[in-house]
């Protein structure tokens, strides 16, 4: 085992995958020589050469489109979109091409690739460095969507994503790159090296896609969360004293409906938490799923705590970000209902 930040864990996953499979090719804006604006690919070009890890022109559709061509050839591209906020120019390539290639060609052409992108707010990133666009991908048949919340998970899930025969959207909460964050922005931040989840295996070890992880056992209420919100939910549970069971979904598509159902049927209550805007966010899908599969076990309406339906603001960062106070209020509400 070794101590790693999420950045180091992601870099380590790249390193192991590239070592293991010469078909793995890594590229994106500033990814090659410089090693990425967040350092997630640092040292890879030096170690594996310019043919395996290289810089790309500033064109997201080009990056994803070229990667699709490479995947169709038989390589395994792992590409980076510098911020999830900048994935939109590539949306046509992801939705119309990567997602449908296997289906429309009846399996003649496939698209084994990973599109990594830093996501989420809580960093004073303003409108275009804070968004959480996961619902734009979970709505697309043919892609998988993964959001890790710790170095341990990031490494194992990224290795699985690279192995996976289908296109995977890999959303990395940049707020968690250097340490966990529970939303208490006025308190000092812990580094991953002081957190148990900063301890990761050094050898090749994967975490299966489509499996949630129960982060905190509890009997009062089920909290469904992913990314940064896992730590926010933990803080809210601790601070309210409510015995919440916190499920880190890890994969949004495929979704671990079994784990969700088992938990809500046990607790009878459910709170869903995500940073993304509320309306038509992934929370709506989760809420509908819980309602359908746990209706007779529910003792209270399902609640959602989410970003407001506004663009992500700058100065109003902490009024926007669904912090522990808002989650705590929802936990109390659901217990009183």
Partner 1 sequence: MPDSKPLSLRIPEPGCRPGDQPDFSDFVVPRAGEARRPDTDASPEDMRDMAFSIIRVINKKGEAVGPWADTLSVENLRDGLRHMLTLRAFDERMLKAQRQGKTSFYMQHLGEEAVACAFRMALEEGDMNFPTYRQAGLLIAGGYPLVDMMNQIYSNAEDPLKGRQLPIMYSSREHGFFTISGNLGTQFIQAVGWGMASAIAGDTRIASAWIGDGATSESDFYAAMVFASTYNAPVILNIVNNQWAISTFQGFARGNAVTFAERGHGFGIPSLRVDGNDYLAVHAVAKWAADRARAGLGPTLIEHVTYRAGGHSTSDDPSAYRSKDEFSAWPLGDPIDRLKRHLITLGEWSEERHTQALAEITETVRTAQKKAEAIGTLISGSHPSPRSMFDDVYAEMPPHLVAQRQAGGY
Q: What positions carry a catalytic annotation?
A: 129
Whole-number Å distance between alpha carbons of 66 and 22:
18
> Near partner 1 by CB under 8 A, which window of 89-97, 145-153, 170-178, 322-330?
89-97
Which one among 2, 33, 46, 59 touches partner 1, defined by CB under 8 A? 59
Contact, 40 vs 67, CB < 8 A? no
- Least separation in angstroms between residue 26's CB and partner 1 is 11
Binding of residue 97 to partner 1 (CB under 8 A): yes
Binding of residue 19 to partner 1 (CB under 8 A): no
Binding of residue 214 to partner 1 (CB under 8 A): no
How many residues in the shown chain lie near partner 1 by CB under 8 A? Answer: 46
Count CB atoms within 10 A of the CB of residue 10.
27
Binding of residue 146 to partner 1 (CB under 8 A): no
Whole-number Å distance between alpha carbons of 296 and 202:
45
Residues 149-168 that bind partner 1 (CB under 8 A): 164-166
Binding of residue 62 to partner 1 (CB under 8 A): yes
**DSSP code string of 31-80:** -SSS--TTSTTTTHHHHH-TTTEEE--S-HHHHHHHHHHHHHHT-EEEEE
Binding of residue 217 to partner 1 (CB under 8 A): no
Burial class (CB in 10 A: 0-12, 13-18, 19+), 194: exposed
Kindly tell me the sign of the dihedral angle through the C-alpha atoms of 36, 38, 44, 46: positive
> Near partner 1 by CB under 8 A, which window of 67-75, 231-239, 276-284, 302-310?
67-75
Q: What is the largest CA-CA distance in the chain?
A: 60
Q: Which is nearer to partner 1, 56 or 162 (CB)?
A: 56
In the numeric block, which tokens belong to residue 29? 């804006």
Contact, 130 vs 120, CB < 8 A? yes
First-to-final CA distance of the chain: 45
Binding of residue 104 to partner 1 (CB under 8 A): yes
Which one among 19, 34, 46, 96 touches partner 1, defined by CB under 8 A? 96
Count CB atoms within 10 A of the CB of residue 239.
15
Binding of residue 105 to partner 1 (CB under 8 A): yes
Which one among 14, 116, 129, 144 touches partner 1, defined by CB under 8 A? 144
Tokens 């929802």 correspond to 330
Alpha helix (H) ranges present in the chain?
Answer: 6-20, 44-48, 60-73, 91-92, 101-104, 134-138, 151-163, 229-240, 257-267, 282-294, 317-320, 324-336
Q: Which is nearer to partner 1, 254 or 301 (CB)?
A: 254
- Least separation in angstroms between residue 302's CB and partner 1 is 19
- Least separation in angstroms between residue 337's CB and partner 1 is 29
Q: Which is nearer to partner 1, 91 or 204 (CB)?
A: 91
Binding of residue 74 to partner 1 (CB under 8 A): yes
Binding of residue 102 to partner 1 (CB under 8 A): yes
SS3 283: helix
Residues 20-39 that bind partner 1 (CB under 8 A): 25
Contact, 228 vs 175, CB < 8 A? yes
Binding of residue 108 to partner 1 (CB under 8 A): yes
Whole-number Å distance between alpha carbons of 45 and 50:
6
> Near partner 1 by CB under 8 A, which window of 63-71, 182-190, 237-245, 264-272?
63-71
Q: Which is nearer to partner 1, 92 or 202 (CB)?
A: 92
Which one among 44, 67, 81, 259 touches partner 1, defined by CB under 8 A? 67
Contact footprint for partner 1 (CB under 8 A):
25, 51-52, 56-57, 59, 61-62, 65-70, 72-75, 77, 89, 92-93, 96-97, 100-110, 141-142, 144, 164-166, 210, 253-255, 257
């Amino acid at each position: 085992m070794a101590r790693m930040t999420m950045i180091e864990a992601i870099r380590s996953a790249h390193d192991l995958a590239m070592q293991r499979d010469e078909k793995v090719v890594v590229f994106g804006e500033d990814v090659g020589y410089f090693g990425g604006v967040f350092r997630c690919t640092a040292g890879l070009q030096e170690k594996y050469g310019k043919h395996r890890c290289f810089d790309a022109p500033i064109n997201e559709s080009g990056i994803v489109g070229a990667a699709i061509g490479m995947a169709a050839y038989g390589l395994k591209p792992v590409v980076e979109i510098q911020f999830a906020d900048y994935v939109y120019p590539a949306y046509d390539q992801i939705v119309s091409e990567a997602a449908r290639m296997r289906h429309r060609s009846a399996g003649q052409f496939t698209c084994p690739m990973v599109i990594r992108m830093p996501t989420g707010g809580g960093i004073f990133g303003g409108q275009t460095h804070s968004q959480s666009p996961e619902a734009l991908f979970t709505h697309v048949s043919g892609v998988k969507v993964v959001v890790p919340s710790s170095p341990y998970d990031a490494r194992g899930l990224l290795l699985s994503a690279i192995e996976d025969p289908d296109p995977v959207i890999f959303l990395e909460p940049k707020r968690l790159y250097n340490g966990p964050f529970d939303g208490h922005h006025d308190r000092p931040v812990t580094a991953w090296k002081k957190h148990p989840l900063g301890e990761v295996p050094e050898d090749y070890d994967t975490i299966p896609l489509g499996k949630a992880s129960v982060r905190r056992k509890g009997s009062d209420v089920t909290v469904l969360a992913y990314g940064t919100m896992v730590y926010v939910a933990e803080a809210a549970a601790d601070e309210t004293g409510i015995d919440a069971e916190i499920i880190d979904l890890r994969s949004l598509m495929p979704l671990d409906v079994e784990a969700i159902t088992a938990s809500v049927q046990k607790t009878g209550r459910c709170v869903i938490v995500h940073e993304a805007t509320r309306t038509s966010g992934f929370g709506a899908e989760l809420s509908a799923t819980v309602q359908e599969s746990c209706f007779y076990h529910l003792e209270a309406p399902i609640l959602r705590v989410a970003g407001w339906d506004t663009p992500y603001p700058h100065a109003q960062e902490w009024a926007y970000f669904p912090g522990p106070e808002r989650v705590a209020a929802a936990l109390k509400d659901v217990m009183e209902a």
